[in-house]
Structures are given as C-alpha cells and as structure tokens.
C-alpha cells in the first residue's frame, strides 16, 4: 500500500529514494474534447511519488477537477492542479477496478498539488472535497473514518465562509435557467410553426441545467 508523503515536510525532503518527487521536467498535458464535460489525454505523462511511479496513459478520460457549479468561482475546474486532477482520475479508475487504494489516491492528489505549487489551504480543501466524494463508492468508504476528523475540521469552516456566496450562485443559476427556458418556448413554437409550413427553420437549442462543471 502506498503511503502518501506528509503535506508538511520541507522542500529539501522532496527528493527521496534517488528521484525528485513530482512530474518530470517537460511533462505536459495534451487533451482533446470527448463531450461537453469530459476530455481525453492524448499523450501519456508520469508522476513520481515517494516510493512508486505512476503513468497516466494516452486515452485516460478526465473532467479535470470535479467542482460543483456553485463553487467554480472559488476553485475553477483547471489551474495549477490540472495534472494532479488528471492523475487522480487515473488512480480513482484503478481503485474502482480494485487495483489501488482510494484513500491513497486522494493522498497522492494532495501531494501532487503540493509539488505543483498549489497553496496550502486550497490543496487541503480540495483533498477534503475528494474525500467526501469517496463516500459515494464502496472502495472509497474503506478507511474513510481515519480521515473523518480532518475532513470535518476543514469542511465546516469552509462551508460557513463560502456557503452564503455559493447559495447565491446556485439561486442565480436556477433563475437564469428559468429565464432561458421562457425565452426558448416561443422560439421553439415559431420553429415548429415554420416546419409545419415547410419553411426553413433554424435549430433551437433548449437550455440545460447542470450543477456540475
């Protein structure tokens, strides 16, 4: 079982077992769109952890950081942590297949964000978020109680601080969906009217409401 590197060790200790922990120099992310939410890695890249190395192969699907719409203003779907998020998707896929430990995957995610230069509080908040997400899967619930006190210690003050703004964003998204739907109705009626009379009609795209990124 992989033991993720503690988050608080010094920068001088990032080089262990003869290699530098992190993404090798020159590694880059190359992706293409699959659909409105998902992307596919086109070129493999590696991550060197404390004891093991992991390869994200070409073809790996990802949605980058899975952030609810109400919080995207605070933590965007991509940023300094993009490679760490894709690596996390890869390790979580392995966990679903029983080939990896989900708790370790979340710990390596936090470790990778550290070496990518993500600020202390932000990477711990993102770690707490993926630990909450782990509860939804059988493999993710294994060992979850070991982290529960830290997850709650982070989550409660963050929700108290960000919750009001997130609620405003959520209500605004719902209101905007209603406005878009009300505008779409007459446009759709006009389109069908033209089609019944064999007249050219432009496609009218219905609005969608998604609370995910």
Give pLDDT tens digits for 49-91: 888 899 999 999 999 999 998 999 999 999 999 999 999 999 9
Residue 88: domain span = 11-158
Residues 6+ away with beta carbon under 8 Å from 179: none
Q: Cα–Cα distance between 103 and 138 in angstroms, integer?
A: 12
Mean pLDDT across the chain: 88
Q: Please tell me the chain's helix, strand, coil percentages from 3-state DSSP, rounded to the nearest 5.
A: 50, 10, 40
Q: Are strands 31-33 and 39-41 parallel, antiparallel or unpaired?
A: antiparallel
Lowest-confidence region among 7-11, 19-23, 191-195: 7-11
Q: Return d(Cα 78, Cα 84) in angstroms, integer.
A: 10
Query: Does residue 132 sit within a domain?
Result: yes
The answer to the question of residue 202 being in a domain is no
Residue 176 forms part of a structural domain: no
Q: What is the number of structural domains in the chain?
A: 1
Q: Does 117 map to a domain?
A: yes
pLDDT in tens, 139-166: 999 999 999 999 999 999 999 999 999 9
């Amino acid at each position: 079982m992989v033991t993720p590197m503690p988050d608080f060790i010094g920068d001088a200790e990032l080089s262990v077992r003869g290699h530098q922990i992190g993404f090798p120099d020159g590694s880059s992310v190359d992706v293409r769109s699959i659909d409105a939410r998902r992307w596919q890695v086109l070129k493999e890249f590696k991550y060197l952890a404390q004891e093991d190395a992991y390869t994200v192969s070409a073809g790996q699907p990802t949605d980058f950081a899975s952030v609810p719409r109400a919080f995207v203003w605070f933590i965007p779907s991509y940023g300094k942590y993009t490679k760490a998020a894709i690596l996390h998707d890869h390790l979580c896929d392995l966990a679903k297949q029983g080939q990896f430990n989900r708790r370790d995957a979340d710990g390596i995610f936090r470790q990778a964000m550290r070496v990518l230069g993500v600020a202390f509080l932000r990477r711990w908040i993102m770690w707490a978020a993926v630990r909450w997400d782990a509860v939804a899967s059988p493999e993710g619930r294994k060992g979850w109680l070991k982290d529960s006190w830290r997850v709650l210690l982070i989550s409660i003050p963050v929700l108290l601080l960000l919750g009001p703004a997130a609620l405003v964003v959520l209500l605004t998204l719902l209101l905007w969906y209603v406005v878009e739907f009300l505008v779409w109705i007459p446009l759709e009626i006009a389109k069908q009217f033209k089609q019944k009379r064999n007249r050219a009609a432009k496609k009218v795209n219905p609005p969608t409401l998604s609370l995910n990124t």
